[in-house]
Amino acid sequence: MAKLTSFWQLLENRNDKTAVLAEWKQRVGDSFGVVNPLLTPTGQYASAYPHPKPYGLKLRIIKHRNGDIVAVCPEDSDVRIDLKKTDIALYHINIEKLRKVLAGTLSLVPAQNAIQNVSDYILLGKYRPKPAADFSVYMIIAKPQSFISIIKDLCQTPKPFILLTTSMKDCSEEAHVLIDKKSSIIVPLDDVLEYSGARIQCTEQWNQCLSVFAQMVNPKGRSNFVNKPSKKGQKTAANIYKLKQYLIEHIKGEYERLNNQIQRKWKITPPVKLEKQKIGQIVDIRPDEVTRAFKAEPQLKALLKISYSNDEILKYGKKL
């Protein structure tokens, strides 16, 4: 197992979270297998290229009239790299994909709110220690200019929360005091996440953090308030995620069908009628687990209802 420290640092240091593949590989090292599935091409091309030496100045990209592309160093005439157009394509971290991966890894009920690209923090999902209680879990990309203001904003929310941070370097004493008063906790991502091959996994420390948090928000130790997700609870959260993703993708497909029919002035056909258990078969979930997931997450019922109506599909599709 290894840490994702270099990846968290890159998120902090690169505001646009965009680079050519060569730089992503150079900056994140062995964890590129984890990062690569999270990258999305922007459709744009770079004007600079990473120096083969980690601390060298970026190379200037020159495009010749004959179509040749080269990268040269402004200080060292011996450094010259022949490139292809694909080499200078820019790739952006898809924060939505990252959120889904982290929520699934940490067994959270995934968040569905839209992500603001300019924001330095995002809602990953909800930690649900019992059916009638849930608490928000946020991820903050640590930056000195925004860290304390984000903490102050989060401390204005009604409930305690869990805050995962790319690093603790900007967490001042004031921030710790505010978080403690809110009966909340802040945890470095490196403490609770690691990777093996191309897969991110949570560490045992994550369960310890949940136990500490549960004791803070449940000081009387009510017996129905578990300190960490049970195996059944974790499985249900994972099933909710799979079912929700399938329903959303299905609605997207129906939305495209409707738009195509409207644009071509074809006859509008009714949507495909989905059945809970049929969806379960498609995403490999047992019938009893499908029933449990629908009972635990009301949004699944709402999404299924949307999928039955062309009007609702058009309304929801615009949001997607």
The predicted pLDDT at position 172 comes to 86
Q: Between β-strands 161-165 and 185-188, what pairing exists: parallel, antiparallel or unpaired?
A: parallel
The predicted pLDDT at position 92 comes to 93
Express each pLDDT in 43-54 by its tens digit: 999 989 888 877
Average pLDDT, the chain: 86
Strands in the chain per DSSP E: 18-20, 39-45, 48-49, 59-63, 69-72, 80-83, 89-93, 109-110, 121-130, 133-140, 161-165, 185-188, 193-196, 199-202
CB-based burial label for 251 (10 Å; 0-12, 13-18, 19+): buried
- pTM given for the model: 0.67
Q: Cα angle vertex 237, ends 313, 136, to 5°?
A: 85
Residue 113 vs residue 17, higher pLDDT? 17
Interatomic CA distance for residues 200 and 35, integer angstroms: 10
Nearest to 294 by CA among 234, 240, 257, 242: 240
Interatomic CA distance for residues 273 and 280, integer angstroms: 14
pLDDT band, very low/low/confident/very high, at 143 (cuts 50, 70, 90): confident
The predicted pLDDT at position 109 comes to 87
pLDDT band, very low/low/confident/very high, at 226 (cuts 50, 70, 90): low
Express each pLDDT in 149-160 by its tens digit: 999 999 999 999
pLDDT band, very low/low/confident/very high, at 283 (cuts 50, 70, 90): confident
Mean pLDDT confidence for 288-315: 86
Q: Between β-strands 185-188 and 193-196, what pairing exists: parallel, antiparallel or unpaired?
A: unpaired
Interatomic CA distance for residues 307 and 250, integer angstroms: 8
The predicted pLDDT at position 235 comes to 72
Phi, psi of 143 (to 5 degrees): -145, 135
Six-digit token string for 193:
């996440």
CB atoms within 10 A of CB 156: 7
Looking at the DSSP assignment, which residues form a beta bridge with residue 165?
140, 188
Mean pLDDT confidence for 102-122: 83
pLDDT band, very low/low/confident/very high, at 33 (cuts 50, 70, 90): very high
pLDDT band, very low/low/confident/very high, at 318 (cuts 50, 70, 90): confident
